Structure 1
């Protein structure tokens, strides 16, 4: 079975010191970024930026991060023994401690176990929390996006409804009976309005089967779709695919971060597009980071998410620490060592609407 590119099941051993992740959104937020904006600078803000820092040296891929009070909560793609690993820390640069409990002990009835990717947790106005997760749909045969709720950021999260939240593609992002993957959901909120960004499409260089990034409006509780989704970005010159969307607002511009390339290769990278309107059109504006731009210190920097913490902006992403001996994975028997993606964190700066690593 071919696994989805970004949200593939991660196999690894959790350490006691783990990562600052980056895919979660808070809805009790400022309209600037869809993120909490506490008064004053955090303790991290005064720390000198020293480029990307590896904050977890083992598998903690496709993470989401949420700040509640003075505590950060990081969520990861499934690891061995946990559908939703969660870690806590008092600082973005760590140390982080993995909690013993699985934050999502039970999947929705529509989903297959062991294939749960890219979690994103948002805080709702009533103080509860909603989780968006990608899992393998039993009926569809590929990824779909589900929702779950909890009273605590540590969970346990309980699946909502009998089916997924998103498991279909609009006409402009589908080809008859062909079924591209639906993965990589991340929440965005401003002025009381809730949205979800996610990927629909295919992987590879075939131009007639591209991938798309979509924006879907949600109900106030974040559990239902409102209206039809809108395609806000289409794969054109990107290698292999476009995926892992993450949306923020900086000044008067909306900035859409996304990944491109094959996640199991060193050419996996992070790009961004900019728009003056939430619904687009988004103009591709540049590449934020590649293995080469980071001087080989991070292999395949991708699946990035952004957190505004007071006056400080952080970007978190994963990089490959160990590639499979057979990177093309021709068969399950020829996978003697799994892909290990560790977590990195760096401070993000801005030049107008253009982000850069500080």
Structure 2
């Protein structure tokens, strides 16, 4: 989940009930590289393009390529609202920038609370737009804010007096239930149309309530809404929640990548859905990456960003190094396509 590390142990228990989650091995250590039995069989057939490109914590990665330089943006670290890393190649070497990419939050956001899941895109005027998730004391839940910069490395400066989005559309609300938090924003542009995607979450609600993925058309600068929001995907058969939406166009299809499962164990995975237009309707296509499909080499692959890198499609995502404390880091892999169906090369 594009989440902070608060109350991981309690959430593991919730996920185990909601999704039949199997926790990692006792002690929080990830599996040995010496696999056997069924794990060996899975590892033998696991995609070979998957690579871990960082060794330190770097969760919920947004990614961008500008010129010949790659940039990645992570959920808040110990001393930064938004860690920024850069590299000359998708495979690295990746180096953390010394400065905070988002040194100051919007006035609406509580700076003592977590900052999650940054997404950076380039605007038509050449500047860079950041969407980030932060806590609003006014609404008492997480909301989405915007910031801009003249460089992809930042520093990004907040825009607007309030969050970009903090109130879910009616179709993404459960009657009689506290409004769900709004997290995991990402931008999508096709032609002259600009969109914001995000999650409306009800994690831990009792009785259980499904989460939603929403698309909202925006003005060309990405900071104001234009028209009504629309739910494009609802949690149904996924193993606990849907989140981290990221939309791309491939040929004539629109492919929505998203995470499902609990971010603190091996149920966390990346899935996809396909539509003929950005606003749907979307048809779920299944699992792109899971701990099992990657041969146990990556635990809980999620939080994906997908780039068309000069004809080579590449996905950036996080996987867990260990469980206690939960530490997630940056991975990348190449994608292949069969029509509108993606797979890890």
TM over 0.5: yes
Deviation at 1:6, TM superposition (A): 2.3
Distance in 2 between residues matched to 1:344 and 1:274, nearest whole Å: 24
Distance in 2 between residues matched to 1:205 and 1:154, nearest whole Å: 38
Q: What corresponds to 2:336 in structure 1?
A: 349
Distance in 2 between residues matched to 1:315 and 1:154, nearest whole Å: 20
The 5-angstrom pairing of residues 120-135 of structure 1 reads 120-135=119-134
After TM superposition, where is structure 1 displaced by more than 4 Å over at least 4 residues in a row? Answer: 204-208
User: Cα distance 1:205–1:302, how it changes in 2: closer, same or farther (>3 A)?
Assistant: farther
CA deviation digits over 1:206-249, x for unaligned, max 9?
Answer: 67611000000000111100011110000111121000001001
Pairing partner for 2:4 from 5, 8, 11: 8
Gaps of 5+ in 2: 7-46
C-alpha contact 2:316 2:331 (8 A) present in aligned 1? yes
The 5-angstrom pairing of residues 194-213 of structure 1 reads 194-204=194-204, 209-213=209-213
Distance in 2 between residues matched to 1:296 and 1:50, nearest whole Å: 13
Q: What corresponds to 2:11 in structure 1?
A: none
Q: What corresponds to 2:78 in structure 1?
A: 80
C-alpha contact 1:149 1:159 (8 A) present in aligned 2? yes
More helix by share: 2
Q: What corresponds to 1:183 in structure 2?
A: 183
CA deviation digits over 1:232-287, x for unaligned, max 9?
Answer: 00011112100000100111111101011110111101111111121110011111
TM-score normalised according to structure 2 size: 0.85
TM-score normalised according to structure 1 size: 0.82
1:93 matches 2:85:
no
Distance in 2 between residues matched to 1:138 and 1:110, nearest whole Å: 8
User: Cα distance 1:160–1:312, how it changes in 2: closer, same or farther (>3 A)?
Assistant: same
Is the partner of 1:172 in helix, strand or coil? Answer: helix
Distance in 1 between residues matched to 2:205 and 2:148, nearest whole Å: 38
Is the partner of 1:112 in helix, strand or coil? Answer: coil
Distance in 1 between residues matched to 2:170 and 2:154, nearest whole Å: 36
Deviation at 1:7, TM superposition (A): 2.4
C-alpha contact 1:64 1:118 (8 A) present in aligned 2? yes
User: Cα distance 1:121–1:341, how it changes in 2: closer, same or farther (>3 A)?
Assistant: same
Q: What corresponds to 1:149 in structure 2?
A: 148
Gaps of 5+ in 1: 11-48, 325-337
Q: State which drifts further: 195-204 or 244-253.
A: 195-204
Q: What corresponds to 2:50 in structure 1?
A: 52
Q: What corresponds to 2:172 in structure 1?
A: 173
Deviation at 1:205, TM superposition (A): 8.6
Is the partner of 1:111 in helix, strand or coil? Answer: coil
Distance in 2 between residues matched to 1:285 and 1:322, nearest whole Å: 29
Q: What corresponds to 2:42 in structure 1?
A: none
CA deviation digits over 1:5-46, x for unaligned, max 9?
Answer: 422259xxxxxxxxxxxxxxxxxxxxxxxxxxxxxxxxxxxx
C-alpha contact 1:188 1:195 (8 A) present in aligned 2? yes
Deviation at 1:137, TM superposition (A): 1.1
Report the aligned-residue RMSD.
1.5
User: Cα distance 1:64–1:323, how it changes in 2: closer, same or farther (>3 A)?
Assistant: same
C-alpha contact 2:2 2:75 (8 A) present in aligned 1? no
Distance in 1 between residues matched to 2:150 and 2:71, nearest whole Å: 14
User: Cα distance 1:205–1:271, how it changes in 2: closer, same or farther (>3 A)?
Assistant: farther
Distance in 1 between residues matched to 2:202 and 2:293, nearest whole Å: 27
Q: What corresponds to 1:192 in structure 2?
A: 192
Is the partner of 2:78 in helix, strand or coil? Answer: coil
Distance in 2 between residues matched to 1:298 and 1:206, nearest whole Å: 31
Deviation at 1:299, TM superposition (A): 0.6
Aligned residues: 303
CA deviation digits over 1:147-187, x for unaligned, max 9?
Answer: 00111111111111121000001111113451211000010
1:247 matches 2:243:
no
